[in-house]
Chain A
C-alpha cells in the first residue's frame, strides 16, 4: 500500500518560470491538503481539496498560485511566474475523510528558484 507520492522531489526554476508540483494521495483517500514550509519555519496550510472541488484555499496567495484535484490523476499545485520567495518545501497530505482526522504526508517537493 503505497503512501502519498509527490513528484518531483526536487525542482529548480528560474525567476518567471512556472512550477508544477504533483501529489498522488494514498489509495482510498479523496482529501488532499497542500502545505508550504519555508526555511526555519513550521508548515503552513495552503489549500484543501476533494475530488474536483476546492474546499478551502484560505492559505494560498491570491496571485500566481492555483491548485486542482481532477477526477482522474494527481493533485497539482501550480505556481506561475515564480519568485525567489517561493523557494520552499511543499508538502502534500491526504486523508480518507474530513480535516481533523489523521493526515498522511508525502515526502515533499523542494522548490528552488534561482
Chain B
C-alpha cells in the first residue's frame, strides 16, 4: 500500500532554533518527493522537490534530504522564525500515474514561539 508517514506529529521550538522533520514512505513506483508548507487556513505551498537521483535540495533556510534506498526524507529548518509556524507536508509522487499521482502525509505541525 502506498503510504507516507511523518514524524513528529507536532513540534514546538523557540525562535532562532533549528529543527528537523522526518518523512518515511512506501510508495512505488517513485517519481519525486516534495515538501509543502501549509499555513493555517491556506493551501499548501511547495518548498522543495527532489527526484530519485537528488540527495539534497535547499530553499533559503529550508534544506530537504532524500535517501531513496531507505525511502526516507527530512526537512531541516535553520534559524526558525515565527512565520515558520505551519504544517509541513511530505508528498510523494507516483510515476506513470494521472490524477492519483500525489500521496500526502498527514503533516507535522510546527509551532515557533518567542
| Residues of A in contact with B (beta carbons under 8 Å apart) | 4, 33, 35, 40-45, 47-48, 55-59, 91, 93, 98-100, 102-108
Contacts and interface: CB of A to CB of B under 8 A. Distances in A.
Given A59-B99, A99-B98, A42 B107 contact: yes
Given A100-B93, A102-B46, A43 B99 contact: no
A43 B44 contact: yes
Contacts of A48: 98-100
Interface residues of B, number: 24
B104 interface: yes
Interface of B: 4, 31-32, 41-46, 49, 89, 93-95, 97-102, 104-107
B89 A42 contact: yes
Contacts, number: 64
Given A47-B99, A100-B31, A41 B43 contact: no
A100 B95 contact: yes
Contacts of B101: 45, 99-100
Contacts of A40: 106
27 contacts: A4-B43, A40-B106, A42-B104, A43-B89, A43-B102, A44-B104, A45-B99, A45-B101, A48-B99, A56-B98, A56-B100, A57-B99, A58-B100, A91-B43, A91-B44, A99-B101, A100-B32, A100-B94, A100-B95, A100-B101, A102-B46, A102-B49, A104-B46, A105-B44, A107-B41, A107-B43, A108-B42
Q: Across chains A and B, which 7 residue pairs bring their CB atoms closest together, nearest first? A: A48-B99, A56-B99, A105-B43, A42-B104, A99-B101, A42-B106, A43-B104
